[in-house]
Amino acid sequence: MIAVYPGSFDPITYGHIDIIERAGKLYDELIILIMTNDEKSGTFSLEERKDMIEKCVGHLPNVKVAIGTGLTVDAAEKLNGKVLIRGIRAVSDYEYEMQLATANMILKPDIETVFLLAKPENSFLSSSTSKTIAKNKGDLSCFVPSYVQEKLEEKFAK
Ligand code: ADP
C-alpha cells in the first residue's frame, strides 16, 4: 500500500524525519508530497525543499519525494496513495488537523488520514522555529540535519 505524507517541509526538520521513518515502516511505499500553498510563498523554493528532503531520507529505500499542486487528495490520488500521513505535536495541531482530515474525508472517502504522534523530544520542533533560530544565528543542531542547517544559514546570511 502506498502512503503519502503531505506538507510544506519549508524546510524539513528532525520532527518530519521521525514521522517519515516511522510511517515508512508501516507501508510498502511512502511518498513525501511537497504541496504548494497559495497563502504562503515559502522561504525555500519547491526544488530547494525537495533537494533537502532527498538528502535527509536517502537511507530509506521505500521513501520517495514529489511536488504537488491543487488539492492534497487529488495529488495523492494521482500517486495511487491510499493513506495520508500527518503528524500531531500537541492539542493545538489536532484542531487544525481534524478540520483538514474531515474536509479530505468528504472530498475523497477512499483516502484515509492516519495520524502519528510526535516523539516527545520532537514536539517542540517546527520549520518556522528553525527559521527564526537561523535568522538570529542560533544553534540549529537539535532542529535540523547538518545539510539543512547549512542551507538555512546560507538563506539568512546577511
Ligand atoms: P503544513 O503546512 O501542511 O502543516 P508542515 O511541513 O508544517 O506542513 O507539516 C507537515 C506535517 O508534519 C503536519 O501534519 C505537521 O503537524 C507534522 N509535523 C511538523 N513538525 C512535526 C514534528 N516536530 N513532529 C511531528 N510531526 C510534525
Q: How far is the CA of 93 from the centre of ligand 1 (A)?
A: 9
Mean pLDDT of 29-43: 88
Report the DSSP beta bridge partners of residue 7: 34
Question: Distance between CA 104 and CA 115 in Å, rounded?
Answer: 14
Cell of 132: 527564526
Query: Is residue 49 flagged as an active site residue?
Result: no
* Percent of the chain with pLDDT strictly greater than 90: 92
| 129/100 Cα distance (integer angstroms) | 22
87 Cα: distance to centroid of ligand 1 (angstroms): 6
122 lines ligand 1 (CB under 6 A): yes
Confidence of residue 157 (pLDDT cuts 50, 70, 90): confident
Distance between CA atoms of residues 20 and 5, nearest Å: 8
Decide whether any atom of ligand 1 lies within 6 Å of the 131 Cβ: no
Going from the C-alpha of 128 to that of each of 8, 65, 125, 135, the distances in angstroms are 11, 21, 9, 11
Distance CA 46, CA 33 (A): 10
Range 70-88 average pLDDT? 97
Average pLDDT, the chain: 95
Per-residue pLDDT of 91-103, as tens digits, reads: 888 999 999 999 9
pLDDT class for 59, splitting at 50, 70, 90? very high
Evaluate if pTM is beyond 0.75.
yes
40 tagged catalytic:
yes
